[in-house]
Amino acid sequence: MTISSSPKLTKGGIVLIDPETAQVQRVIALQYNAESLKRELKSQESGGDAGADRAEPTRFKGPAVETISFEADLDATDQLEFPDQNAAAVAYGIAPQIALLESLSQPSSAQLGKVNSQASSGTLEIAPMLAPLLLLVWGAGRVIPVKLTSFSVTEEAFDPALNPIHAKASLSLRVLTVDDLGFASKGGSLFMTYLQNREQLAAKAQPASLSTLGVTGV
């Protein structure tokens, strides 16, 4: 028996849950973890504008607006080395994985058909089509409710049937907070846990003294 000393790799991914029941609908694991994750936070402040002549002390009116973006690599090379075990990759390359990510950005054909049927039957008010709630899972400490704001894919290599076999997918996400989801919802609870985890991490940072900054008091 061979014992490997390498740690088990945790994959990042996206989980789709029912926004009303919080039941897991689908789990999407990234084939390869992104090499970088760009996060941008913009504070929500009440009071004066950034371009005003006089600045006011910071008064938060809600959680920061956080955006997350990353690139995901998709590749069928490994599967194509073992065609007998990977019939779907042989037949379609990575087209199914691309289509799955694309589906996060638009309603399903069934939803569109239902709306059309309602319109044809004379329904006066048609409710917008509710999408699943997305959770970005990046390790156990980061389970974050998000909204997909943009998706793009660059298909870079193809098989003889023009199925894509290598591609880069770019995803931009906006973190959904209790302002967006409410405290009582599953998504709101997950955001609060995410925020508390960040606060606990901040508390673990090595404290510095004023002397480190070259001053004895303020």
Mean pLDDT of the chain: 92
> Phi and psi at residue 33, in whole multiples of 5°?
-65, 145
What pLDDT shows up at residue 52?
A: 63
**Six token digits for residue 22:** 């919080």
What pLDDT shows up at residue 121?
A: 87
pTM of the model: 0.88
- CA-nearest of 169, 96, 106 to 132 is 106
Q: What is the pLDDT of residues 42-70, one digit of tens each?
A: 999 887 555 567 778 889 999 999 999 99
Handedness of CA 180, 183, 186, 192 (dihedral sign): positive
Q: How far apart are CA 211 and CA 215, in angstroms?
A: 5
Q: In which band, very low, low, confident or very high, does the pLDDT at 128 lie, cut at 50, 70 and 90? A: confident
Q: What is the pLDDT of residues 101-121, one digit of tens each?
A: 999 999 999 989 988 888 888
Rounded mean pLDDT, 194-218: 94
Q: In which band, very low, low, confident or very high, does the pLDDT at 196 lie, cut at 50, 70 and 90? A: very high
Rounded mean pLDDT, 91-110: 95
- For the chain, domain boundaries: 13-43+61-107+128-203
Q: How far apart are CA 96 and CA 28, in angstroms?
A: 12
